[in-house]
Amino acid sequence: MTEQAIVASGLGKTFNSRSDSAVTALTDVDLSVEPGEFVSLIGPSGCGKSTMLRLIGDLIVPSEGTVEVFGKPAAQARADRDYGMAFQKAGLFDWRKVSANIELPLELAGWSKSRRRERSAEMLDLVKLPDFGDHYPWQLSGGMQQRVAIARALSFQPKLLLMDEPFGALDEMTREHMQVELLSIYRQLRSTVVFVTHSIPEAAFLSDRVVVLSPRPGRIHSIIDVVLGDRETETRDEDTRESEGFFRKTTEIREALRSVEAQQ
């Protein structure tokens, strides 16, 4: 058996556990993610999907259970810089030029200046912003800023990419373009991705598996395999969105979310 990228067992998180206002954000989650897999977390607000992402990334400490990433505790994976992260807000540093933003993780990892320059140029090509390295973030549109944030997250080729609604603030058309680009980048770099979203088509289009969460307390409701054809050879592009298989998968996810709501 190959080593799993993520193994969460009995994972749970309760905030303010020692006070009256204790909130159980997530409980009893078991999930394994294979290396190279693209997994989305979807569910209504309060279902703990962002909490789960942060538990995997060791940004918060679990109240129960464990997370292992590439066979190590999450804290070790973080110390080893196995994670790349992107959020709904691009979160670029406005005092740094675009290329310097992309180079930040490389700086922290102690890369030389010339190697950093080389890599940030490659990344700018990859996210189709080759001429914007010397711009400041405010000179870029929201979609372009998000591409820079993704380039920053990927610049050091982390083994695991954690994304928290990275396209949530973008308009529908930009969003669809970004999804296609993300998939093509993901295929080139072959990293593992955990992607939080509340868009059904986005989850269906991007993912190998969609994890549907139910709220209060957050737990896994169901896991939906999204295979839109032969797993090895399948290609997803703009036409995929109009295909029969895609329609079936979005329906399946939608029905799962409806049954989540019906439970409330």
Positive or negative CA dihedral for 159, 160, 163, 167?
positive
State residue 213 phi and psi, 5-degree precision. Answer: -105, 150
230 makes contact with another protein (CB under 8 A): no
- Residue 248 in the binding site for another protein (CB under 8 A): no
Q: Give the chain's end-to-end CA distance (angstroms, integer).
A: 39
Q: Is 54 in the site for another protein (CB under 8 A)?
A: yes
10 Rama class: left (phi>0) / alpha (psi -120 to 50) / beta: left
Region at 69 (left for phi over 0; alpha for psi -120 to 50; beta for the rest): beta
How many helices (H) and strands (E) the chain has is answered by 8, 10
Q: Does 105 bind another protein (CB under 8 A)?
A: yes
Does 89 sit near another protein (CB under 8 A)? yes
Using rule CB under 8 A, residue 189 touches another protein: no
Q: Of 64-72, 85-93, 125-133, 189-197, which segment contacts another protein by CB under 8 A?
A: 85-93
Sole window of 24-32, 74-82, 206-214, 217-225 interacting with another protein (rule: CB under 8 A):
74-82
Looking at 61, 93, 172, 263, which residue binds another protein (CB under 8 A)?
93
Question: Using the rule CB under 8 A, which residue among 5, 126, 162, 200 binds another protein?
Answer: 162
User: Which of 8, 3, 41 is CA-nearest to residue 27?
Assistant: 8
Interface with another protein by CB under 8 A: which residues? 54, 57-59, 78-81, 83-85, 87-89, 91, 93-97, 104-105, 107-108, 136, 138, 162
